[in-house]
Amino acid sequence: MTKTYEEINERIRSGKAVVMTAEEVVDLVREKGAERAAEEVDVVTTGTFGAMCSSGAFVNFGHADPPIRMTDIRLNGVEAYGGLAAVDTYIGATSLIDPPGTGYGGAHVIEDLIAGKKVHLQAWGPGTDCYVRKSIDTYITLDDVNEAYLYNPRNMYQNYGVATNTSDRTLYTYMGKLMPRMKNATYSSAGELSPLLNDPHLDTIGMGTRIFLAGGEGYVAWQGTQFSTTAPEVNGVPTQGSRTLAVIGDMKQMDAKYVRGLDITGYGISLAIGIGVPIPVLNKDVMQRCAISNEEIFAEMVDYSIPSKRPCMQRYSYAQLRSGQIEYQGKTVRTSAMSSLHGARDVANTLKDWIEHGELLLNEPCLPMPREGKLKSLMERGV
Amino acid sequence: MEKKFRIDFNESNVLESVTYTLVSEFDLKPNVLRADIGGDGHGFMLVSIVGEKENMVKGMTHLRDLGYGVRELSGHIFHDYDRCWNCGACVSLCPTRSIYYTEDDEIKLNTDTCIACGSCINACSVKAIQLEL
């Protein structure tokens, strides 16, 4: 049995498409097998809602009268990039407020814009014959600006490590607060709901794939930075970070419910964002891969008190991690997530709802993602 | 009944045994959750007290008469459910498991069992938990 994108879209248009979340299909495939499940289900929706630091927004402010070529830009006091044309900028999620220390940064500016709040724009320029003005101080909203879209170079890590701390002091990391002597461990992936764990070799997800991005329609724009295919696999899915995606989407469509500016103690600012990817059930193999469960997906626990090249201490399944505690060499270690499992489910359910109501059609990627990718390290050398 | 109190000390009464008084004179069962005395003799103690309501009122009135600051804690910890994005960074830190995942993986806080240790406060990336002591 095979289905085409067009056949699936026809069923979506006529309101007959059967859509299930990646959690819901686990039991269905266990019960009926992949072949029969693939006949019944047209689309599987996935979701994740976690900190994705490598994110940011392009904004075009429109020209003031007289116009200015902005070279030094602040949004609510947070530095935005001044190296583009006159009134274009890019504000990165981790950009800090000047002076730093208030727990506010680029991610919060993005959240405030999406929430419809007024944002303070201050900009300075050299003043030229064509752009005479040297400074401007005003307030903008998302409605006021011409374009505002997220372009996130690295989102949706396929899998991620489990963080713990064997040292005698508390560590404050991007994986959260890690108590001394392995009192706790944190993990980040949404497991069986996570988009790239349901299509581990990116057979259906590619460039141009239409996705749910923070409550609006978005697209896969490119392979994500640090795209890697070399991680060891268990049950057909990688046990480490591995593949990533770059995504793009119109901020004016987004819902602040799926966006959070984060201030992670000891680390800095990050952006939590909800992303969902629909997977077309083209055949039983696609169905089988979507049916992967938390029992079958593993992640590697590493010790964050080691500064670099952290070796794997032990592998744990997401079923173990989600139980609230794991065992390590006879010691009980409490676990919790650094990403929102409730949010991931909400994303997958909302995307399901969109597709069931014909509001989002699936599309074939215009270019597949690379089959291979290997991480390079930064070499330190002279000339 | 069980109630939590914050009891404040100063130089004049820091050497008195408050918990012994509550046990021996008022038949109360105090459980010290936290205590911190500074070098200037000022400090505070968080106690959870089990006993008859009448005894509790009498005991606390007695402490007030002796010059202690006594304040009942009820809304001592506040969880902003609108701001919370249900990430769970706080869950594995809570020593009394007062912060937990619901069936649908929402994060909830049981204020009854919270001992106000404050471990979750700086673990929250959106400042959704506030401790007011």
User: How do the domains of chain A map onto residue ranges?
Assistant: 5-52+151-359, 62-145
Which CATH code fits B76-133?
A: 3.30.70.20
Q: Is A18 exposed, middle or buried (0-12, 13-18, 19+ CB in 10 A)?
A: middle
DSSP states of B36-60: EE-TTS-EEEEEEEES-HHHHHHHH
pLDDT confidence of residue B15: 81
The pair phi, psi for residue B106, each rounded to 5°, is -85, 155
List all residues of chain B from 80 to 109 with a beta carbon under 8 Å from chain A: 85-93, 101, 104-107
| Cα-based distances in Å from B78 to A103, A344, B93, B107 | 20, 25, 17, 13
Return the structure tokens found at A46.
């996935």
Interchain contact, A336 vs B105, CB within 8 Å: no
Strand A43-45 and strand A19-21: pairing?
A: parallel
Burial class (CB in 10 A: 0-12, 13-18, 19+), A139: exposed
Catalytic residue among A130, A290, A312, A366: A130
- Which pLDDT does position B116 carry in this prediction? 85
pLDDT of residue B111: 86
Question: Scanning the structure block, which residue is given the tokens 């997401």?
Answer: A318
Per-residue model confidence as pLDDT tens digits over A75-86: 999 999 999 999
- Which region among A172-181, A321-330, B56-65 has the lowest average model confidence (pLDDT)? B56-65
- State whether A340 and B125 contact (CB < 8 Å): no
What is the reported pLDDT for B112?
Answer: 83
The mean pLDDT of A316-329, rounded to a whole number, is 98
| Fold match between domain B2-73 and domain B76-133 | yes
Instruction: Give me the phi and psi of B64, to 5 degrees please.
Output: -60, -40
| Minimum CA–CA partner of B87 in chain A | A340
CB nearest to B85's CB, from A103, A177, A272: A272
Banded model confidence at residue A68, pLDDT cuts 50, 70, 90: very high
Picking from A265, A274, A254, A259, the residue whose alpha carbon sits closest to that of residue A342 is A274
**Joined tokens for residue B133:** 């002591």
The pLDDT tens digits for A172-219 are 999 999 999 999 999 999 999 999 999 999 999 999 999 999 999 999
Contact A105, A96 (CB under 8 A): yes
Q: Average pLDDT, whole number, for chain A?
A: 97
* Model pLDDT for residues A40-66, shown as the tens digit of each residue: 999 999 999 999 999 999 999 999 999
pLDDT in tens, B30-49: 999 888 888 888 889 989 99
Residues of B in contact with A184 (CB under 8 A): 92-93
A336 to B86: CB separation less than 8 angstroms, yes or no: no
- What is the per-residue pLDDT for A325? 97
Evaluate whether the domain defined by B2-73 bears CATH number 3.90.1150.10.
Answer: no
Measured distance CA(B31)–CA(B20) in Å, rounded: 11
Contact A117, A140 (CB under 8 A): no
Catalytic site includes residue A130: yes
- Residue A89: pLDDT above 90? yes
Q: Where are the domains positioned within chain B? A: 2-73, 76-133
The pLDDT of residue A63: 97
Task: Enter the pTM of the model.
Answer: 0.93
Instruction: Report d(CA B133, CA B69) in Å as an integer.
Output: 12
**Residue of chain A whose alpha carbon sits nearest to that of B86:** A340
- In A153-310, where does DSSP find H-type helix? 195-198, 284-290
pLDDT in the model for residue B26: 94
Torsion of CA B44, B47, B51, B55, to 10 degrees: 0
